Structure 1
């Protein structure tokens, strides 16, 4: 099954490089990649426009897919997504602050976004831990909702009073792969790589935690340490992806359910499958956004919202999609 997901991802990458305002044949794309001709238009299109966008979509999709599987596993909530930790709200608030402080380029306020996601997640985890030294699925959800609502209100109050910040913020918050050059992918790649490693390390503990914390302790798992590693992985993965692309909804929510129907509930296989599926879905959504309003483009976040909402409703209502965590 993993091989099929890899094949689907390869197809999504090929389409991402070939499809756009000017369509290229797969043969042209292959020649531009393996034997680039500096004077050929196809080479310029592939390497300067589509390759950085594809790499960023690949990284962000891997990150959001794995983060979604981790969040649903740790909270034992099939409706959980990475935004539950306050990642989107923290990143949004920090982007607004960064713009007001003069960071008007994406490569500047991306670091504000990542810092905001990190600080918000730490606050959520700290509040959820309470005095007994360990967060639970319920306290994580409640703390995440509270912090997200608080930061969202702060963000809106600033934007209502500053039109210049609102205009720049709208470019980021819509959720898109366009307008990002290769430096953005290079900035977030190390964080995503570390996050993926932590996610894979956390997988065996998640299987035990799915049986309940008491059973996990009896099996020798250190529950608090497992929670810390899991939250750290989610923060790195979803924080980096959100900082680079803006808040992209539904991907971290839907992809783990799809992957679960393919490989089952074992997180040692589920997390890699969710990562691969997330990358393929994000790239295909980006390609669809280039086609439906051609020669213009529909932002990736809008495509995923339009396609993801009815798909998730069908997934929840279907017997096959109603998989227990």
Structure 2
């Protein structure tokens, strides 16, 4: 069957959250502010880690990759919604929609894999501290991140290729602000059984790999922590994991609430949970890690002082000119 017969529409309409102009305006400014803060927050973390030599360690290498993935994740969904509001349009082309699905799946899964790798890093740091530098060598860190990128891209490619095989007939209205795979599957007039099967099998495996890593790592961590004799030692060990556990809870809470069930059960009410997953989590990550991490705060403070110092030097030389 050729492409023309498989897909009889050229695009979709994104209804967003509301049909009322006043509410649309509020949502636009809210999304714009969230997107800008997400970009600035994650870029500051990348800047701090790249400029401070003390942060050139495995933990911050993974955190830098998480910040990069969050920047890309937010950029997949929010900008199109903002542009459509400015242009007074709700349309998204078929190619744009399939591209959104591909990159949405890629960066959503990448967040999960990086959280799994970071959990393993915390396990080695707490349970095997004497061997930490040997185990978490630069070579292993790069391999873990590269393998994560390869798996997530292949997973996204699988689901996108399956999606383009579906037929979309009369109804092309998406009750969402971006091309979420589940609402798209509900619009199809083809049989989506195989798509749902791949979500539960391949998608389930991709979900379980980092989730298992996190579960096992923290099982070992907590078994080690309870054996620490001093309360101060327990507090220090848990403080290194607190930020990570907070992000993990937000991420997997939203994932399990939305995507671990058949696409036919997806409803408009699930859009609120998707917002937590796609909009809230990326903006929370830089605040959670920077506010709870003294090293990140110190690096950002140093960058601020250096910028102020350079500014004063520039002002001085300008004032000396005749």
Q: Using structure 1 for the length normalisation, give the TM-score.
A: 0.30
Bigger Cα Rg? 2
